[in-house]
Chain A
Amino acid sequence: MSEHESTYVPKTGVEKWLDTRLPIIRFGADYMSLPTPRNLNYWWTFGGILALCLMTQIVTGIVLAMHYTPHVDLAFASVERIMRDVNGGWLIRYVHANGASMFFVAVYLHMLRGLYYGSYKAPREMIWIIGCVIFFLMIATAFLGYVLPWGQMSFWGAEVITNLIGAIPGIGEPILIWLRGGPAIDNATLNRFFSLHYLLPFAILGCVVLHLWALHSAGQNNPVGILIPKDRTKKDMLPFHPYFTLKDGFAIILFLLLFAIFVFYQPNALGHADNYIPANPLQTPAHIVPEWYMLPFYAILRAIPDKFGGVVAMFSAIGVLFVLPWLDTSKVRSMRYRPTMRTFFFIFLVVGVGLGWCGGQLPDAPVVPGFGGVVLFDGNLNSYLWLTRLFTAYYFLFFLVILPFVGLKETPLPIPATISEPVLTGAHAMPAAAPASPEKKG
């Protein structure tokens, strides 16, 4: 990978001239011929899908900025003007709005793939950490962008989330006023949020370059999780193009189908009706919820009875991801060979979805309607408050206790010596000469 030898031979005079001055064609050619583990499954296609998502958001965003007006009196109407008067504006805006959701669908699946197959473990810690930075920047960008249409959810979302910073003891209040540019969310806030919303995606793009650099330096993980020795490169690897360009391309088109169904047939299903009411600083909507992709973290925030404690818990939920490579004590990367850990992983998956569900509910609402329950401390055990606390506890236990301990105690299954072994033998026995069905193993 890092030592991947260049096989590019400049053919024409122009190519030779360029190659000694700016070897950009060589760079592209080497990238395309990069040896890639042949056993990568469809869960590995989300990297390409995410690149597409980022480009979609940047391109549609630049276009929308040509028509959008960041002013409290004009923002809502300028967005609706895009929807009504700008040629094809409705399409571009719906792609951008739903694109944010699609981006998060893909990034969550990408992160779960990394978690399941141990893609964060040595020597790939930096890939994972940069990925966490990207995820954090994505949340910030999405939040800033949601404020821009200046609907009721925009305004009150901004109000509630910026108030989190005010929870920091002592310095919170001055920082809050500095961030908002005044005592309340107003025109100054909208203008700076627009500026930052335009800036951050380019910061994400920069991090993506680092993410890929780190990836090509450490080499790609694979579903078996073992490092591929240099002498097996020929046997275990395939050039990126055309094998993985086509596989990624096919996955991207399937993803676009899902995307298109939302954009063209359910464009507002992932949003909230209240955001089509212009922002009114004098009236709060009955029920404030963030966009779906923030709900798990919003649930963690509400699980803690203390204001500052809630903020700390919410940021810790993201922060713990940064130290994940050092929390996992197992030498085995792929959970394929860690049956105990795999069970905990699937519980984690259910808990994550459950946190998202809880984040959209009123904390005091009963989980099982019509069932009394018992009051414990500040809430009924049969309420979303306590269900959220249960899930929050598991979320942190998973990272801080289960990962370190199971790694030390468990007995992993035997790990194949090469990635070709499970392909060519055992359950997937397939004579090497016979054409193998590519989708045999997910």
Chain B
Amino acid sequence: MIGTIKVSMPRIIASAAVAVGLLAAAPAPALAAGGAAHPRSGGFSFEGPFGVYDQGQLQRGYKVYQEVCSACHGMNLMHYRNLGDRHGPFWNPKYPNPNDNPVVKALAKEVQVPDIDSETGEPIQRDATPADKFRSPYPNATAAAAGNGGAAPPDLSVMAKARHDGANYIYSLLSGYRAAPAGLTIREGQHYNPYMAGDLTPFWTGDKHHVPEGGFIAMPPPLRNGQVTYDDGSPQTVDQYAKDVAAFIAWTSEPKMVERKQAGFGVIIFLLIFAGLTYASYRRVWKGVAH
């Protein structure tokens, strides 16, 4: 009978592994009827355990953000100096301190930021420095909401982490606008996007079992072909702009990702060696000890 005992331990291991696996997956919520279309893949360079950011893409993405998105969306966790951080869009090994990076200084200088005159206390506008935060398009949240029909455009600093499958979602959303299917009642000031989360059932007059995917978004399609000039020969298309700005937001959301993956590789190699040595030591100590 004791023989059967041996079965129980692997069974517990297997069950525990399943338990951990299932529970890890559990927080992904089941969406209500309708739901959003599954994001398309942007084929990003930073995916996978060894993926890194593509510096050219980040530079283009910054340009798109600066020329298009920043009119409405702030990035209040970003400073101009961050553009020159290691693995960032304008990182240059010659300037380990990004505050000295001439490209970063020049980019900051292009922007006017509000400040208080240190002598008179009056509000002034001055050239930004690398230490300044990205200019906010609105003086405060109330002004942002009032200027946009009541819905303040969200801050984009950590947007790629604030949405499931962030970079692909941003890419799909920005490049995924399309004409609303016939039978969908569009509300005033709203736009249809199949990648937006939501439930369109109340607005759908067609077949109840085939409610279109997606939801309404207040932002009109922000990108047009040829809108932003690229000087590296990349295609000047909505698809490319969306990809580049999604990559840029992925970087602003997780600027230490490359460091993290590189450190992780070293740590895991070390732990494997450490585990091997400890196991050898353990086996040697237990050699000849029945248990």
Contacts and interface: CB of A to CB of B under 8 A. Distances in A.
A360 B24 contact: no
B267 A260 contact: yes
A246 B290 contact: no
B118 to A, nearest CB: 24
Given A39-B291, A105-B20, A356-B23, A253 B271 contact: yes
A336 interface: yes
Contacts of B3: 427
A127 B275 CA distance: 31
Q: How large is the interface on A (under 10, 10 to 19, 20 to 34, 35 or more residues)?
A: 35 or more
B227 to A, nearest CB: 28
B289 A238 contact: yes
Given A360-B27, A438-B283, A264 B15 contact: no
A242 B285 contact: yes
B264 A263 contact: yes
B58 to A, nearest CB: 16
Nearest to A369: B30
A254 interface: yes
B161 A276 contact: yes
A360 B26 contact: yes
Given A41-B9, A250-B275, A336-B5, A272 B27 contact: yes
B168 to A, nearest CB: 13
B12 interface: yes
A292 B49 contact: no
Name which of A243, A260, A273 has the most chain B CB atoms within 10 A of its CB: A273
Interface residues of B, number: 67
B104 to A, nearest CB: 16
Given A357-B23, A360-B28, 6 more contacts: A260-B267, A265-B49, A360-B26, A362-B30, A428-B2, A438-B291
23 contacts: A41-B9, A43-B12, A83-B256, A84-B77, A84-B256, A238-B289, A246-B281, A246-B285, A247-B286, A250-B279, A256-B271, A261-B268, A264-B263, A286-B29, A339-B4, A353-B15, A353-B18, A362-B29, A413-B1, A413-B2, A420-B290, A436-B289, A441-B9
Interface of A: 38-39, 41, 43, 77, 80-81, 83-84, 90-91, 94, 105, 108-109, 112, 116, 238, 242-243, 246-247, 249-250, 253-254, 256-257, 260-261, 263-265, 267-274, 276-278, 286-287, 289, 291-293, 295, 335-336, 339, 342, 346, 349-350, 352-353, 356-357, 359-362, 365, 413-414, 420, 422-424, 426-428, 430, 432, 435-436, 438, 441-442
Interface of B: 1-6, 8-12, 15-16, 18-20, 22-24, 26-32, 49, 76-77, 82, 154-155, 157-158, 161-164, 166, 197, 253, 255-256, 259-261, 263-265, 267-268, 271-272, 274-275, 278-279, 281-283, 285-291
